[in-house]
Every structure is written in structure tokens, then in C-alpha cells.
Structure 1
């Protein structure tokens, strides 16, 4: 018998960071597939519009606002979801931020903010949900990584490092989760055209840019099919996998060419680093 794979009859999907981008699109697709979807985002994020849009769908979307960096409150949020809507059988930890880091303008605050949200924010929800899944004897977890986890890209010293940590954490936990019937997957999407990417003025320098809907659709296919890593788009993934095996000087040259980074002024890093937002 294979590892558990979530289905709508068993319980609820919990998505963090579901107010925009991939999380929002994925919440609607899961509701269309018949799931009850509990969306956690920060206070003030536009969840009500998402709930209204999901009204005609076979499933439903519920709002459970919380800051994922608040450990105690996030655990209480999970308890509230299960008390009101049912057991969480699929947890998708999508909340995150991209704060560009320029080597000539380093800031401890940027690294702390990134790791607090992208890594610790995942752990704050992962620990209590795994305890509950273990008691029930099954569960399904998806962690959002990034292709930037495979090697360094310009401006991703904090973001890429946090996503690399997500990947290694998932790889390590899989050994034990396999024994307790909890499926864990890590999704490593390519570049997604979100308002955050536009705000950072980086959309023009990244290859194979996807819409949030396209990314969510590919992610949902991966969740449904199973398998450990969900990486897309394939045309970019295979190229980067091969690039990761190149000698470092060659890889550095390739990334410089792809991003046209060597032609960017140093002041770009300073201007872009002042803004951040949750995915």
C-alpha cells in the first residue's frame, strides 16, 4: 500500500499565504476539485473577495487570518480550523517573502525577515499539523521551495538560502514521514509573475516567467500525482539541473548571461531592497 494521498472526502486543505499569487490560485483550484480550503493570510489581506469568487464551486474557501511567524497563534489557528471544518489532511505551506539582498548593501534585517517567514513560519505550522496527522495515522504536506534553492542567483542570498533549507528539511523528514504514512512534497517553481516580482522590478530579468494560475495548475498536478519534488516549468528545470552540475565558474557565467546581471548598476540592489511583501 502506497503513502497517503489527500482527497476531498477525508478532510480539509490548509493553505498559508493564500491571499495572492500561487496560494490564491491554488485555493480556488482545490475548491473547484471539491475540497474545503482553509486559507491563512495576514490580517487585512483580501480573502473575502476570494471567498466570494469560490461561491459557485463544488468546494468552499474559509478564512483563518494569522501571521505565520506567531507560533502560538498559528497553532491555535490550526485548532480552530479542525474544530470548525474538520481534520487537516493536506497542509500547503506557501506563505513567504522575497527580499532582494545586494552584496554591496547587506542588512541583517533582510535576512532575519526572510528566515522568520520563509523557514520559521513553515516550522511553526508544520510541527502542530504533523502531530495531529500522526495521531490520525495519515496526512499530506507540501512545502513551497524554489528553483533558487539549487544554487545562487543574484539578489537571492536570503531567499535562496531559506528555500534551500526548506528542501533539505523536507528531504530529511521524508525518511521518518514515510514510516508514519505522511506524504511530504516540496514544490520548486520557477519564476512566477506576481505583484511582488513587479514591485521588485525583477520580472524583466528572469526566464520562463509564468502566471500564478499556470504555476498553481502545475503544482496541483504534482500534488495529485505524488512524487517528492514538484519542479516546473520543465524547460527551465532541466536546464538548471544541468547547469547545477557545471563547474562553478561556468555556472556563474551562465547565470550572468541568463539574468543579464553584469549589465545592471550596483544601485539596483539598493533600490530594490527597501520593499518586501508576503507571497
Structure 2
């Protein structure tokens, strides 16, 4: 896979996620005020098309979380400077003591939260709709980033190289070269973590090992504890494949290592 095809893949993902976002905005409005939404749609596009639109909308609460996760991953890779803003529209603010219109977010909508004062609803799910519309605009801004001469394709090229090397590890395993497959996968993981350390400006000692990279990222709070444990396990599998001492690595060991490395290079940046 070339850097161009990798870029095209990101563009295709963006188009799909943007189209889904538009449908989710409609679905959210339908969830919040079904009668009003149906009436408004009928007035704008006619009864028959309105019914077809409503029929084709994805259930909001069943589909938003997946869209949010995928959109966050894309932003993290392509436009990381907007990721925190994107998340802010979803996540309940830390330390919030009570709900008001200004701090009601999409997570509140997902939980069905409302604010009543004296038996009257003062804040409800309608307050979350502008947040989803803002998320949609942030995601759409990625399209301009792709066309900008300032867009840094270094990470895309880096991802291409690692994908190619990992494909080589799979081919080795397919031909029953278990230990070499694990060695190659371990090298891919080490190179990727070296890139992650550099992108986060994390300090490491001279001539660091894979274990040093993992611990440095944990100490810098780039890794969560579950991610740190998962990478520690991958390092153990790598050691088993690399060193002749100890138990012989199995095909399952190499397969788990390759799968874990593949997940890491696609989710940790």
C-alpha cells in the first residue's frame, strides 16, 4: 500500500463518517421531538419522502457511540489539534455540579438527562443537538486539511511502511516460520512506539529497548493502564519469539503478537 492509497483510504473513511454524521443529526432530532421533526420534514420534502427519510435513519443511541469512536480515531490521525474540542461536545465536563443549558452535552442526551425546576423542564435533550452539529463541522474540516500543502504526510508514509512489514510477518507465519514472524512483528512495534515517543516529545534513555518505550509512554500518561498492560504482554510475546532460551514460541503466540501490533499501529499515535 502506497502513501497515496493510504491517503485515499482516509478520504473514503471521512466521506463515510461525514455522511453518517448527517444522518445522525436527523436521527437525534427525531429522537428528541418526533412529532415536530416529522411535521417539518413533511413540509420541506413532502409526506412520502419524509416517511422514507425517517424509515432509513439509523437509531441514534445504537449508532452514535461507534461513529464517535471512529471519528475520534480519524481526527487523532489527521487533525489532532481539534480532537479535544470534538470530545468536549460529547463528554460531561469534569467537576460539573449541576446541569444547565451551557454544559448539557451529548453524553447527557445518551443518558436521557433533563433539568426540572418547579415541575417545569428547563433543560432537555434539545441542548445537545448543537453539539452534534459542531462535531459534524469539525469532522468536515478534515477535508480541507487533506488538500492543504501544510498537511504532513510523514505519518501516513510511516503507517504504510509498517503495514508492509507486518504483511511480511503474516507471510512468514503462513509459511510456518514462527520465530522470524514474531521477530519482524516486534521490530514493527518498536519502530511505531519510537514514532509515538517522538510525536509526544517523551524523553527516553539512550539506546532504549521496547520495554523502555512502553514504560516511558506510561509514565508520560500517553498510555492508559490497560494499554500499558496490553503492550507489556506483546513485549513478552516478542521476547519469546526473539530469544532462543525458554519455551519455543507457538504459531498462536506469533499470531497474537501480529494482531496486537496491527491494532497498536492503527490506534496509538
Same fold (TM over 0.5): no
| TM-score bracket for this pair, using the shorter chain length | under 0.3
Calculate the TM-score normalised by the size of structure 1.
0.26
Higher strand content, 1 or 2: 1
> Radius of gyration: which is bigger?
2
| TM-score between both structures, scaled by the size of structure 2 | 0.26
More helix by share: 2
